[in-house]
Amino acid sequence: MLVLVLILGAVLGSIVVGLLLGVVLAGAAAFVGYWTSDAVALRIARARPADPEQYARLHNLIEGLVIAAGLPKPRVYVIDDPAPNAFATGRSPRHAAVAVTTGLLNELSRIELEGVLAHELSHVKNDDVLLSTVAVTLVGMPAVVAPPVFGPLVRLAVDPKRESSADVNGVALTRYPPGLISALERIHATPTTVHSDSRAISHLWIASPSSRSGLDERIRVLKEL
């Protein structure tokens, strides 16, 4: 993204002025992206804080998993959407958030929900949540405006293997692969997708609304563990 802005700056102005402008714009974008991307992602998803009493099961599961993973408890959000899905966002383990849809809470059993939450917390523990979160503002939002130009950059910015890695680390945390396997199968079998299917955050979801083709392979890998 930095290189792209530098090139555009050089093309639109003189070489020196364009490069200086590009450095300033790229630096400002990186600064804003680092500090605000998580809030932007949550707002796009229409997430709201999960009340500890109303969503006691959700908080209890997360509290148990963060103790096992050695992580601080993230902020917990709920998204009013019937489609089962979830994502993690944030710039560090101490500034992370996990958001789940009401459909996920309603349709999944406790064991299945634990598997999904362990997957999302693995993103936080693996530190890949920072890159995917910052990509929301630096690449994802421009991709909404100009998909042909910025769409491929989303795929380049976010490693497609991060989901499979989080799957494996998630089941290592719960020590029960069937929980996540069953959750992914339920999500895969659901015909509806989340209403917040913006390209800006599509890469954050445990099952991307824009493409579910990789779920079969992820399920197959988990079954071989």
Instruction: Report yes or no on 6 lying in a domain.
Output: no
- Dihedral angle sign, alpha carbons of residues 65, 69, 72, 77: negative
- The proportion of the chain whose per-residue pLDDT surpasses 70, expressed as a percent, equals 71
- The CATH number assigned to the domain holding 142 equals 3.30.2010.10
> pLDDT tens across 123-180, in order?
999 888 888 877 777 665 554 444 555 555 555 556 668 899 999 999 999 999 999 9
The reported pLDDT for the residue numbered 130 is 82
Q: Give how far Cα 19 sits from Cα of 24, 76, 137, 139, Å.
A: 9, 41, 22, 20
The reported pLDDT for the residue numbered 1 is 57
Instruction: Report yes or no on 30 lying in a domain.
Output: no
pTM of the model: 0.84
Which of the following is catalytic: 53, 120, 185, 224?
A: 120
The reported pLDDT for the residue numbered 176 is 96
Residue 15's pLDDT band (boundaries 50, 70, 90)? low
Instruction: Report yes or no on 104 lying in a domain.
Output: yes
Range of the domain at 46: 36-223
Instruction: Report yes or no on 96 lying in a domain.
Output: yes
Instruction: Report yes or no on 16 lying in a domain.
Output: no
Number of domains, the chain: 1
Residue 197 has pLDDT above 80, yes or no: no
Contact in structure between 107 and 189 (CB atoms under 8 Å): no
Does 53 qualify as catalytic in the annotation? no
